[in-house]
Amino acid sequence: MKRCVIFDLDGTLVHTLPDIAAAMNRTLEKFGLPVFGESAYKYKVGNGVLKLTERCIGERKDLYQQVLETYKADYAVNNQVNSKAFLGVPEMLKALCDKGVYVCVLTNKDQADAERVLGHYFPDAHFSVIRGRREGVPLKPDPTGALLIAEQLGVEPDDCWYVGDTSTDMNTGNAAGMETIGVLWGYRPREELTANGARHLVSEPEEIVELVMA
């Protein structure tokens, strides 16, 4: 049995898209920029707030910094409005923790936002490590963050699972030498996960427990 499971956050543990879309659309409206339907954000999120902003402003590069800062301020206080934990995830996290497995999160979300969201939706979960976007550490799909988690816990990369819902996650886990699990309840289709090297695909959170404990 592997000793550590590292999870992505958005689209894997929490359905955060409604609050991300709402905060960004409010921001775009303030600057007279076009807004997007919520489903469009499935392909705008996943690479952190800097890339999200870039994808949303289009050619208006002159507004980049203003949109970025306005969105960050909005989302910081509106990230628990319509988001929700995916069904079965709290129970899955508890089952893994009860078995003595290190349960960790690696996300391109800003560190403070990641801690706020996880603390709100999983108040009873014990996360061994939460790593969000930090200065000096490259974002996923660079494997540095995943490898730093393994190093911090004193486990080898091949003793870890990496779980996520996008190509970014599969590429991160594979580059780190971890066994990858793609979740099918997230923001990207099965085809993207398999094309980017998902070792396993799961439709329900309880399947993750079964894989980890096998």
Q: Which two tokens stand for residue 189?
A: 């289709």
C-beta of residue 85 within 8 angstroms of C-beta of residue 122 = yes
Q: Measure the N-to-C terminal CA separation of the chain; round to a whole number of Å.
A: 7
The dihedral sign for the CA sequence 37, 38, 44, 49: positive
The single-letter code of the amino acid at 145 is: G
- The span from the CA of 103 to the CA of 100, in Å, is 9
62 is catalytic: no
Cα dihedral across residues 96, 97, 102, 103: positive or negative: positive
Residue with tokens 């801690």: 115
Rounded CA-CA distance 2/102 in Å is 9
CA distance 134 to 136: 6
Q: Which of 8, 74, 113, 165 is catalytic?
A: 8
Peptide bond into 143 cis (omega under 30): no
How far apart, in whole angstroms, are the C-alpha atoms of residue 3 and residue 5?
7
Write out the catalytic residue numbers. Answer: 8
